[in-house]
């Protein structure tokens, strides 16, 4: 199996990868280089973080995540995805309600 790792020398600490990680396994450390790091045992190798990095400093490395840790990480990712779906449904409902309140513009002259 593979996980991802961050090139600490290249990371600009923007935080985008941390925001999208469904297992919250990308951590921010305010010491030293002030950078982000991946805790590999929480990584499910979904690859979501890779394309959001503006400096392409996240790459794949070989690492075997222990089975128990992988199971926990997958459970976390499922909960994250369910939460994202709920938030999207809530947003869609708010948009629909707001649009319904807008007075219709007459097309007749
Ligand atoms: S590959 Fe997925 S689980 Fe692993 S650090 Fe990136 S976003 Fe998180
Ligand atoms: S997205 Fe890239 S540059 Fe930004 S914090 Fe993550 S690894 Fe660092």
Is the pLDDT at 76 greater than 80? The verdict is: yes
Tell me, in angstroms, the distance from the centre of ligand 2 to residue 6's CA: 8
Assess whether the C-beta atom of 4 lies below 6 angstroms from ligand 2: no
**Is residue 13 in contact with ligand 2, taking CB distance under 6 Å?**
yes
Report residue 82's pLDDT band, with 50, 70 and 90 as the boundaries. very high
Closest residue to atom 7 of ligand 1, CA basis: 21
Give the number of domains in the chain: 1
DSSP structure class, residue 100: H
Please state, rounded to an integer, the average pLDDT across all residues of the chain: 92
Cα–Cα–Cα angle for 55, 44, 28, nearest 5°?
50
Q: Which CATH number fits the domain that encloses residue 96?
A: 3.30.70.20
Ligand 2 within 6 A of 8 CB?
Answer: no
Domain membership flag for residue 83: yes
Mean pLDDT of 10-24: 94
Structural domain contains residue 107 = no
- Does 106 reside within a domain? no
What's the token pair of residue 17?
């990868």
What residues make up the domain containing 77? 2-101
The pTM for the full model equals 0.85
Task: State mean pLDDT over 77-93.
Answer: 97
> What are the angstrom distances between the C-alpha of 2 and each of 31, 41, 59, 68, 91?
27, 11, 10, 16, 35
Asked whether residue 109 is domain-assigned, the answer is no
């Amino acid at each position: 199996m593979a996980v991802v790792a961050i090139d600490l020398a290249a990371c600009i600490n923007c935080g985008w990868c941390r925001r999208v990680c469904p297992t919250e396994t990308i951590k921010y450390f305010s010491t030293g280089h002030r950078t982000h790091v991946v805790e590999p045992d929480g990584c499910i190798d979904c690859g979501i973080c890779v394309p959001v990095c503006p400096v392409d400093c996240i790459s794949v490395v070989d690492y075997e995540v222990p089975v128990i840790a992988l199971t926990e990480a997958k459970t976390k990712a499922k909960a994250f995805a369910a939460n994202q779906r709920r938030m999207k449904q809530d947003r869609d409902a708010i948009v629909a309600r707001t649009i319904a309140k807008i007075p219709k513009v007459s097309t007749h002259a």
